[in-house]
Structure 1
Amino acid sequence: MSSSVADKAAAFAALHRRPGVFVMPNPWDAGSARLLAGVGFEALATSSAASAMALGRTDYQLTRDEALAHARSLAAAVDLPVSADLENGFGHPPEAVAETIRLAAEAGLAGGSIEDASQETERPIYDFGQAVERVGAAVEAARALGRPFTLTARCENFLHGRSDLDDTIRRLQTYEAAGADVLFAPGLPSLEAVAAVCSALTKPFSFMVGIPGKSFSVAELEAAGVKRISLATSLYRVAMKAAKAAAEEIRRDGTFSFLGPR
């Protein structure tokens, strides 16, 4: 029997409260969402880059309406909670961020993330005060929904050349104090850095696997204090690599060995 949106949202929030770590993979369309649900994962999330690439675009090229329509199709395809990568909220003002959270909830999502990357070349990361204000607006909008919505606040320093662990921790602590349910800092360089971040927070920390040399096992991440693991574009890239290799074999050799033994 299909669960209601509220039930899915409550189940998603509960995953963050139970002991141990959980993996939340990132499908790129309804079919891959159903595949991952069938494998046995308990929650899924969109990846802004994978969602864009599945539609023939690059990261950050989808409009808010396009991103939410894509997320809605994934949420409708599975009887699992789905969270969304909501980028920077699709606008600089706090009011734009709040509206994105309201629309994400209307789309049937159990949660979503808001990042402090501005998508501006000269100022890639929002100033501290503005970043905190934007998280606060997202929290206020989420709390006004009348049902659970797990809000993740992301510090993007390490993805934008700002390898400042102290500033990253300061931002995450302040986002936590502003009411974010989960904290996230993609691109951390080592398990030691991951452990330092986790020990500085009281709320769940999410880690992104997918960067070579900066991806660690589930057991290692759990030992460092991570609660949730996402995969970004990893599965999409694996699938496309396999499809490309098969297509190249057909064009080059006229054979179909990728199908396995006859």
Structure 2
Amino acid sequence: MFPIRDHNPSHGTPFVVYALIALNVLIFFVQLPYMADDRALAKFWADRALYPVLVTDHFSYTGILTSMFLHAGWMHIIGNMLFLWIFGDNLEDQMGHFGFLVFYLASGIAAAFAHVYSAPGSTVPTVGASGAIAGVMGGYLLMFPRAKVDILVIIVIFIRIFTLPAWIMLGLWFALQVFSGLSTPLDGGGVAFWAHAGGFVAGLVLALPIWVRRGGPGFWARTQGRPPHPDTVYLPSRIPTVRRRR
């Protein structure tokens, strides 16, 4: 189950979202030749990935920022860039280009520290934009809790698109990160769940000033938690129905 689009059109051109996607993809292609060799990849990541133990024991902070632009595989970067594409443009509309860039980087840094706090002695390299993008999702939830989000659900041969309010989709996603963080041994699952949760909470907090500036609860009252403009209307899904053979 993953989101494929929202019904919340952006008014301006999200130049920062485009630039972040382009930069992440460019760095991924630079890294690609190293991915067939674990040693070569480890060397490439040595000064760029986030190693919690280097932060706690050696006060080395460079990986906190650079790790946000590295990814561990195709599905990792595709998933992250899809989430950024869906949710980032509307926050850039609200915050402006520079404000959104600062918000994105601050969310990623907060997510990195949340991960370090959860596993301070870890020597496992951590990479990915997920923490920063979790912050984007948290900010989106605050600004547009009832925006419509289309979710693609695939269960074996069952393929359907469902439309859910953002608060349900994003709330379930956040709950899953917390549950997974509590139930997975530190560094045991290959996913930095507490970085996701920390980034999400940071995004909520960092988006509060713009929400208050828009009127806070009054903004929700005026918009009913929806985008302050007409929804995008999509054509009915063309995903075919798979019929069971007798």
Please tell me the TM-score bracket, short chain as reference.
under 0.3
What is the TM-score of this pair, normalised by structure 1?
Answer: 0.23
What is the TM-score of this pair, normalised by structure 2?
Answer: 0.24
Higher relative contact order (CA 8 A, sep 6+): 2
Identify the structure with the greater helix proportion.
2
